[in-house]
Structure 1
Amino acid sequence: MIAPIGLIAGGGQFPLLFTEAAKERGRRVIAVCHQHETAPELEQRADTCCWVKLGQLGKIIKFFHSHGVTETVFCGTITKTRIFRDILPDLKGLSLWSKIDSKLDDGILRAVAAALEEEGIQVLASTGYLEHLLFPRGILGKRKPTDEQWADIRFGWRIAREIGRLDIGQCVVVREGSVLAVEAIEGTDAAIRRGGELAGSGAVVIKLKKPGQDFRFDLPATGVQTIETLASVKGAVLAVEAGQSLLFDRKAMIAAADKAGIAVVGMEDECHNAP
């Protein structure tokens, strides 16, 4: 019998897609769902489900042990600002939280993964069954960046890589060689809106993985919502690191970008595809 796989689910469609892919490969999915984050329909799609509040690590471990889970993945988003208002850790979670010096994304997630692995639960890469969702290389839609926008992409790429190295965020918004917004705890859409409003129009958005990004969690992700947000501030370009981030609803995203006149580019480094 194939062993079950655990799923620690946040928000968005990624947990739903993972569940479907895992079950197609004969894996029973034992899902931990986060209140106010995870889509309710996951409860019907997973084989077994447990709802937790943010920080209830002990409850997660007990649930997985009771169902024979020795492998798990992290999928989906957690609203980062909830860390300051909604976290209700149990004793296990509180003990771990007190030991984490830096409350940056990687520090928290690596600490949780280490705690799970101490309990015999290995944390796997979230893309294991869904590699087809990785962002492709090249120009995805009808529109190509102008020479000036290519220059902004190269400029913003270096800035985004640096803020990633510092574990601040994964996205920057630039125009004409100026940094208009840097993503932090508020997330990509909020950063795009903030930077786009400053740009007036023509904002260029660059979204990269962090240097040394752990594929087990917190991969950059884009989709139709990203384009809609960029279109709402009359943005011009979305440049994403190919093969190192997730792309949801590819056809719908490209169609939305073409309709809004937004260039979408998948690049392997700051020079790839640039003239």
Structure 2
Amino acid sequence: MPRTKNIAGSLGIIAGRGDLPCAIAEAAVASGIPLHIVGIRGEASEAIERFPHTWMKWGEIGKLFSALSDNHCTDLVIIGGVNRPDFDNVRFDLGAIKTLPFLLSLAKGGDDYLLSRIVRFFEDKGYRVRGAGDVLPELLMPEGTLSTKGPSADDRADIATAFKVVHALGHLDIGQATVVARGHVLAVEAAEGTDALLERCAAVRKQGRVHGTKSGVLVKAPKPGQEERIDMPTIGPETMHRAAAAGLAGVAVAAGHVLLAERAETIKAANVHKLFLVGEPWSDADTND
């Protein structure tokens, strides 16, 4: 794998939950890019310890920047899920106190505002913030069908409707996903996330409010203008398992704008459950016309 995007120094990885931080690290190692992972305690997996790493707690901003500086990191990937910290119980180090105006600014606005502020904060410190797809393009969902099964004509109609719904939701800063079956919107994603969305759909089916064989599609795409470098939508094997439990026919996502975690396992899960998995063309310019 070639050295990516002219990374001149070391790559810093700020790691939250999941397997993606280690996947990025493995890609960097394979490309000969030196790296250092800063793992957030209580969020990041202990698996990061097989790479050069530093552990930090919420509030240890000084420790974070010392680790990045000491290891000559010039580029950053911020990857993995995190829970919002309880700031009443967070102990701030001197580095955090020096950035207190910035930390206080994070209490205002929605998720999109918060994430864009975080990116600007690191850029103002001289770092180049990279998306996971910059370092490991194979993580991005490609266009086309990855599963053995493809969508039917009825599925295609549901996919088209669902993308219109997701685009409308994105403009309202509501969520990144929806489920549509036979032209009807079964559920839309809000703050609870995609897994909970699919659980609600499974509950609706168990209640007998959806009849017949497998039908419906989960569609996922970023919000228009979303800061994809640190908040790109993600699907993985668990998405396939939950989609099957919800009785859906398949999953369609925005090609090039959704991360495919554990690619082989995700495709395997889709095939085991006889679901389709497709990447569809998508851009911020899409409309509901």
Fold in common (TM above 0.5): yes
- Counterpart position of 2:15: 9
CA contact (8 A) 1:9 1:76 kept: yes
CA contact (8 A) 1:54 1:87 kept: no
CA contact (8 A) 1:152 1:204 kept: yes
The question of 1:248 aligning with 2:254 is answered: no
The question of 1:32 aligning with 2:38 is answered: yes
Distance of 2:112 and 2:193 partners within structure 1: 15
**CA drift at 1:246:** 1.4
- Counterpart position of 1:229: 242
- Counterpart position of 1:176: 182
Match of 2:156 among 130, 144, 150: 150
- Counterpart position of 1:88: 90
Decide which moves more: 247-256 or 220-229: 247-256
- Counterpart position of 1:69: 73
The change in CA–CA distance for 1:244 and 1:89 in structure 2 (over 3 A counts) is farther
- Counterpart position of 2:278: 265
Is the partner of 1:244 in helix, strand or coil? coil
Is the partner of 2:219 in helix, strand or coil? strand
Distance of 2:165 and 2:86 partners within structure 1: 27
Question: Number of residues paired by the alignment?
Answer: 265
Is the partner of 1:136 in helix, strand or coil? coil
CA contact (8 A) 2:115 2:227 kept: no
Decide which moves more: 126-135 or 141-150: 141-150
The change in CA–CA distance for 1:125 and 1:253 in structure 2 (over 3 A counts) is closer
The change in CA–CA distance for 1:158 and 1:247 in structure 2 (over 3 A counts) is same
The question of 1:195 aligning with 2:196 is answered: no
**CA drift at 1:192:** 1.3
Could you tell me which runs of 5 or more consecutive residues in structure 1 were left unpaired when the two chains were aligned.
271-275
After the TM superposition, which residues 51-66 of structure 1 pair with which residues of structure 2 at under 5 Å, given as runs?
A: 51-66=55-70
The change in CA–CA distance for 1:260 and 1:72 in structure 2 (over 3 A counts) is same
Q: Deviations over 1:163-188 (max 9, x none)?
A: 22333321112223332222222221
Decide which moves more: 94-103 or 177-186: 94-103
The change in CA–CA distance for 1:259 and 1:25 in structure 2 (over 3 A counts) is closer
Amino acid at match of 1:204: V
Is the partner of 2:32 in helix, strand or coil? coil
Is the partner of 1:128 in helix, strand or coil? helix
Match of 1:133 among 130, 133, 139: 139
Decide which moves more: 13-22 or 249-258: 249-258
Q: RMSD over aligned Cα, in angstroms? A: 2.5
CA contact (8 A) 2:187 2:201 kept: yes
Distance of 1:8 and 1:126 partners within structure 2: 11
Amino acid at match of 2:180: V
Decide which moves more: 52-61 or 178-187: 52-61
Identity rate, percent: 33
Q: Deviations over 1:93-117 (max 9, x none)?
A: 6532322464433221221121222
Q: Deviations over 1:140-183 (max 9, x none)?
A: 22323233322221111111112223333211122233322222
The change in CA–CA distance for 1:169 and 1:57 in structure 2 (over 3 A counts) is farther
The change in CA–CA distance for 1:145 and 1:11 in structure 2 (over 3 A counts) is same
Distance of 2:182 and 2:76 partners within structure 1: 44
Distance of 1:157 and 1:268 partners within structure 2: 10
The change in CA–CA distance for 1:125 and 1:229 in structure 2 (over 3 A counts) is same
Decide which moves more: 260-269 or 62-71: 62-71
CA contact (8 A) 1:61 1:116 kept: no
Is the partner of 2:29 in helix, strand or coil? helix
When normalised by structure 1's length, the TM-score is: 0.86
CA contact (8 A) 1:173 1:182 kept: yes
CA contact (8 A) 2:158 2:216 kept: no
